[in-house]
């Protein structure tokens, strides 16, 4: 009887360990915060790269050209990482629900997503569905493309400061919703880099406003 009890305990323990391991390595579901972040941040990065390419061709200022090059290379590489996550997780690059709805993900996530490794967490205040924080409007981009000289530089700096703040907001949100190591590492890098870069951009804008 004692042997049977020990065998039962061992069996239960092995089953619990196996279940825990499967939860650790399970992929996020289609409606998870991680999947939403990966999709939306790719789109957010794409606009930053677009604006950086525009100013690179408009300005001869070495500092602005260096910053634009950094934005182009860094954010393209990060977008590639997030594209790779979705592929690895077996998820489509485009979700079936509006952009930014993942920021409202909470512990009441659909059970199907929880079974796929989505992380329950406290609710996060989300922007209006479909609206990404910091994104330039079509009108703003048209005005930027048409601008030249110092006016173009000011517009770029103004739009990119707002864009970076939105990116930091999105990074903060996923850090409060996910504990997946790859997601946390990238979101932390975005948070730190764009905070520092926003300060640099603000200094450059002040110089052009005061001149």
CATH of the domain at 139: 1.20.1260.10
Is residue 16 domain-resident?
A: no
The backbone torsions φ and ψ at residue 116, rounded to the nearest 5 degrees and listed phi first, read -95, 10
pLDDT of 118 above 60: no
Which residues lie closer than 8 Å to 190 by C-beta, 6 or more apart? 41, 78, 167, 168, 170, 171
Evaluate whether residue 172 is within a structural domain.
yes
Domain that holds residue 137: 29-210
pTM of the model: 0.78
| Structure confidence at residue 161 (pLDDT) | 98
In the chain, % of residues over pLDDT 90: 70
Question: Alpha-carbon distance 194 to 197, whole Å?
Answer: 5
**Residue 195 belongs to a domain:** yes
Number of domains in the chain: 1
Q: Are 122 and 176 in contact (CB under 8 A)?
A: yes
Which pair of structure tokens corresponds to residue 45? Answer: 């990065």
Residue 141 lies in a domain: yes
The Cα–Cα gap between 136 and 140 comes to 6
pLDDT (0 to 100) of residue 105: 61
In a domain, 13, yes or no: no
Q: Which residues contact 101 (CB under 8 A, 6 or more apart)?
A: 36, 126, 129
Mean pLDDT of all residues in 133-158: 97
61-111: pLDDT as tens digits = 999 999 999 999 999 999 999 999 999 999 999 988 888 999 876 432 433
With a cut of 70, say whether residue 129 has pLDDT above it: no
More confident position, 126 or 45? 45
């Amino acid at each position: 009887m004692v042997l049977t009890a020990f065998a039962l305990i061992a069996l239960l323990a092995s089953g619990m360990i196996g279940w825990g391991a499967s939860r650790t390595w399970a992929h996020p579901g289609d409606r998870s915060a991680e999947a939403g972040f990966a999709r939306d941040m790719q789109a957010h990065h794409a606009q930053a790269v677009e604006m950086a390419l525009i100013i690179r061709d408009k300005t001869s200022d070495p500092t602005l050209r260096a910053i634009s090059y950094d934005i182009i290379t860094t954010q393209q590489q990060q977008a590639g990482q997030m594209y790779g996550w979705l592929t690895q997780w077996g998820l489509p690059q485009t979700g079936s629900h509006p952009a930014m709805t993942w920021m409202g993900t909470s512990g009441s996530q659909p059970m199907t997503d929880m079974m796929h490794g989505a992380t329950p967490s406290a609710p996060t205040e989300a922007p209006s569905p479909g609206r990404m924080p910091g994104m330039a409007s079509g009108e703003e981009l048209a005005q930027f493309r048409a601008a030249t000289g110092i006016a173009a530089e000011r517009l770029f700096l103004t739009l990119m400061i707002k864009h970076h703040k939105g990116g930091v907001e999105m990074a903060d949100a996923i850090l409060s919703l996910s504990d997946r190591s790859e997601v946390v590492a990238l979101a932390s890098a975005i948070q730190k880099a764009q905070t520092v870069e926003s300060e640099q951009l603000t200094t450059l804008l002040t110089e052009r406003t005061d001149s």
